[in-house]
Structure 1
Amino acid sequence: MGRRGVSDRAGLIRAARRIVVKVGSSSLTTAAGGIDPARVRRLVEVLAAAKGAGAEVVLVSSGAIAAGLAPLGLTKRPRGLAAQQAAASVGQGLLAHRYQEEFARHGIVTGQVLLTVDDVTRRAHYRNAHQTFAKLIELGVVPIVNENDTVATSEIRFGDNDRLAALVAHLVHADLLVLLSDVDGLYDGPPGRDGSTLVPLVRSEADLAGVTTGTTGASGVGTGGMTTKVDAARIATGAGIDVVLTSADQAAAALAGSEVGTLFEATGKRRPTRLLWLAHATSGQGTLTLDAGAVRAVVERRASLLAAGITGVGGSFVAGDAVDVLDPSGAVVARGLVNFDADELPALLGRSTGDLKAALGAGYEREVIHRDDLVLL
């Protein structure tokens, strides 16, 4: 069970010194798809006030693709990846410029941070991303974060900014994550349906029993619905971060600690950040099937994965890709960054590192997946 009740919300939120706020496309744009200056201004006023009160603020903002629709003469979000990337290329600059202008009215400097999955799962890239955020916050800058839609591929992308926001909240060691959308909280059924009621507090999975969530926002310009927001809340709360879910119109009240929207209480403790990204921001590009002994070594002893315990290789991947680790029954038990290409591994299976070194050279003495690059699922 959680640590606090709804009555403690004001103190909890006021005590949060570092806050990540995520806003969806539908809360920033007009029905035609362009940026709504009034909506952006209202949001910035709220965030500037929070910063003025002493909080450090990171903004994860959707809207790049939506902002690019009208300039390109498009009436709705395109389905094709190339068209989405074109819209993002046009819209990202427009969106960043609008934020820059609005925050400047309050004497606040902004910095744009565009992330890809590689930026936060591969070790060297992750360190750089962490250091960039730390320095921006130290300098008093408000980082404005989005997925780098112009270069992300369909196979390697976060998929939605709700999940991205939860992961960024952990990356920057936030105290609070605020998810803003066009719905004022989590309901136990469709918000517009008679009989649906707001769920004010979620302490555990038991509080979500019987709750049904939709798949898309009402405006049609976003990518996620309530399901992605609940999933994001699970990621953040499981990593020790409280979450408030409400509408953009209630952002000021939410940050003031008023009892609006839904509060998800933190349920877990912080874990190594890069492993959180590996677990939630990637999907396996292939599979490695282990024998029972190797499963025990990986799961119970948290050991590195060696070639001797692998019985099968599936999929197409290269060194550095994320792959799923399977037990003999085919169940996924872990995910990790592999040190060999898929076509190299079959010749190595079942062989000890000593044998591989003697037969193939010192370069083959390394682990297939090092324990520092392995997360249990």
Structure 2
Amino acid sequence: MDSVTRQRISGARSVVVKIGSSALTELATGLDTGRLDALADAIETRMRAGSDVIVVSSGAIGAGIAPLGLKTRPQDLATKQAAASVGQLALAHAWNTSFARYDRTVGQVLLTAHDVSLRAHHANAQRTLDRLRSLGAVAIVNENDTVATNEIRFGDNDRLAALVAHLAGADALVLLSDVDGLYDGDPRKGDATLIPEVDGPEDLDGVIAGTGGALGTGGMASKLSAARLAADAGLPVLLAAAADADAALTDASVGTAFAPRAQRLSARKFWVRHAAEATGRLVLDDGAVHAVSTARRSLLSAGIVAVAGRFFGGDVVDLADQTGQVRARGVVAYDASEVGEMLGKSSSALPADLRRPVVHADDLVTL
């Protein structure tokens, strides 16, 4: 396995490594420090070889289950947050203790979806990660489960890792869990074949992706989604087993390698598509849907048939067809009240200060 994609991963100067809950915790006993130490060893080896590494570590809720006497992963939000508050301390301490064997300092960075969706918070997180790396420290990133809600959470740390990789300007993303790669079926049921390379969407035809296990919220579906997200950012991705971390972080000779898309999205368009929260929705007629999703043209007021939500100029909104399917997202130029007065009107029928596109093509991405 020595593809161009694997060469890019093995030679990357800046790497984000995501580690799944199942690689660090057991339901009955909680955090497995032996496995965590082995992962820290592999990460330290990569850093000593000249790479910056940011760790996105799952496991806070899993590490808090056993100490609280819980028998299963909690389903209600309050208990999840309670488990995270206990487990986050244990997880941060374990990473700190493990890297201390190498005199390596660890910094904890807790993020919510809200932090990434707001440009100012986004920039602050970026500066923190950059400074930790410049000081030779290892940033241990996790979702701030103690304050995240079902409505605003990342959903899983695979997506968080892909967003952090973009945020930090990383060169590669490595996803480590309890699976050793992408298969064309469920390997637990037999008769499934490993897919070593994914160069484009056509390589995923017929692939069935499952959801998470007892300790995590991810699963193969979330890993595929994260790989596609990272590909939009121009990053190669390696999906491998945590038990194979040594090989994954040296020559990238294991697992499944995902090639990045040929043309990387601009930072602004990536933020609009993947990170920003949509605060409203515009419903478009068929002509406007074609203009924004196929012709990649700006959205004009004449093609808008309905507006929903409370938003202001500069916010991100979803652009939907009349069946309710979201076809694009973009940065709106006007407040919701102004757009409501512009519905279906041509630019020439509007006052001079309302004749700009409602969403300019440069601020618009298709989905």
Question: TM (normalized to structure 1)?
Answer: 0.85
In the superposition, relative to structure 1, how do residues 185 and 293 fare at CA in structure 2: closer, same or farther (>3 Å)? closer
* Residue of structure 1 in register with 2:220 after alignment: 226
Q: Secondary structure at the match of 1:240?
A: coil
User: Does the 8 Å contact 2:158/2:223 carry over to 1?
Assistant: yes
Q: Give runs of aligned pairs for residues 68-83 of structure 1, distance below 5 A.
A: 68-83=64-79
The change in CA–CA distance for 1:355 and 1:139 in structure 2 (over 3 A counts) is farther
Counterpart secondary structure, 2:257: strand
The answer as to whether partners of 1:158 and 1:281 remain within 8 angstroms in 2 is no
Q: Which residue of 2 is the match for residue 192 of structure 1?
A: 188
Tell me how far apart the structure 2 counterparts of residues 351 and 70 of structure 1 sit (CA, whole Å).
61
Aligned to 2:26: 30
Whole-Å Cα distance in 2 between the matches of residues 254 and 351 of structure 1? Answer: 56
The alignment status of 1:257 with 2:251, answered yes or no, reads yes
CA contact (8 A) 1:242 1:266 kept: yes
Cα distance, 1:53 vs. partner?
A: 0.8
Q: 1:371 to 1:121 in 2, by over 3 A?
A: farther
User: Secondary structure of 1:12's partner?
Assistant: helix
CA contact (8 A) 1:242 1:264 kept: yes
Provide, for residues 108-139 of structure 1, a one-character-per-residue CA deviation record: whole Å limited to 9, x for no partner. 11221122222222222222222222222222
Correspondences of 1:228-243 after superposition (within 5 Å) = 228-243=222-237
Contact 1:9/1:257 (8 A) holds in 2: no
Spell out the pairing of 1:177-326 with structure 2 (5 A cutoff).
Answer: 177-217=173-213, 220-281=214-275, 284-291=278-285, 295=289, 298=292, 300=295, 302-303=297-298, 309-314=303-308, 316-319=309-312, 322-326=316-320
What residue is the counterpart of 1:124 in the other structure? 120
CA distance in 2 between counterparts of 1:250 and 1:201 reads 17
The one-character-per-residue Cα deviations of 1:272-325 (angstroms, maximum 9, x if unpaired) are: 23432432345645421134665566554654x5656532023x4444764311
The 2-side partners of 1:190 and 1:328 are apart by 37
Whether 1:376 aligns to 2:327 is: no
Stretch deviating more after TM superposition (141-150 or 282-291): 282-291
RMSD: 3.0
One-letter code aligned to 1:278: V
Classify the secondary structure of the residue corresponding to 2:55.
strand
Q: How far 1:164 moved relative to its partner?
A: 1.2
1:138-149 equivalence runs, <5 A: 138-149=134-145
Counterpart Cα distance in 2 of 1:216 and 1:297: 38
Deviation at 1:194, TM superposition (A): 2.5
Q: Structure 1, residues 44-82: CA drift from partner, whole Å, max 9, x if none?
A: 111011101111001111111111212222122111122
| Aligned-partner Cα distance in 2 for 1:38–1:317 | 50
Question: Taking every aligned residue pair, what percent have the same amino acid on both sides?
Answer: 53
Distance 1:84 1:321, change over 3 A: farther
Q: Which digits, 9 at most, give the CA deviation of each residue in 1:213-251, with x for residues without a partner? A: 22123xx11001111111111121233211111111000
Unaligned stretches of 5+ in structure 1? none
Query: What SS does the aligned partner of 1:267 have?
Result: coil
Query: Contact between 2:26 and 2:62, CA under 8 Å: does it hold in 1?
Result: no
Q: Is the alpha carbon distance of 1:327 and 1:192 closer, same or farther for their aligned partners in structure 2, counting shifts above 3 Å?
A: closer
Q: 2:277 & 2:120 partners in 1: Cα distance?
A: 20
C-alpha distance in 2 between matches for 1:247 and 1:15:
20
Q: Which residue of 2 aligns with 1:60?
A: 56
Contact 2:117 2:277 in 1 (8 A): no
Measured in 1, the distance between the counterparts of 2:350 and 2:123 equals 32
Q: Which aligned pairs between 1:86-101 and structure 2 lie closer than 5 A? A: 86-101=82-97
Q: Distance in 1 between matches of 2:77 and 2:351?
A: 44
What is aligned with 1:163? 159
CA distance in 1, matches of 2:6, 2:349: 62
Q: What is the distance in 1 between the residues matched to 2:193 and 2:88? A: 36
| Partner secondary structure for residue 57 of structure 1 | strand
Deviation at 1:374, TM superposition (A): 3.8
Aligned 8 A contact 1:33 1:221 in 2: no
Other structure's SS at 2:194 match: coil
Amino acid at match of 1:275: K
Give, in whole Å, the separation in 2 of the partners of 1:36 and 1:43. Answer: 11
Displacement of 1:140: 1.7
CA deviations 1:177-229 (Å, max 9, x no partner) are 11101111111211122322221111122222222222123xx1100111111
**Unmatched 5+ residue regions in structure 2?**
none
Code of the aligned partner of 2:238: V
Cα distance in structure 2, aligned partners of 1:70 and 1:108 = 29
Q: Counterpart of 1:84?
A: 80
SS of structure 1 residue aligned to 2:328: strand
Q: TM-score, normalised by structure 2?
A: 0.87
The corresponding residue for 2:172 is 176
DSSP 3-state at the match of 1:183? coil
Question: Contact between 2:122 and 2:167, CA under 8 Å: does it hold in 1?
Answer: no
Letter in 2 for 1:201: E
1:351–1:194 CA distance, 2 compared to 1 (3 A): closer
Aligned partner of 2:111 in structure 1 is 115
**What is the alpha-carbon distance in structure 1 between the residues aligned to residue 362 and residue 148 of structure 2?**
25
How big is the shift at 1:262? 1.1
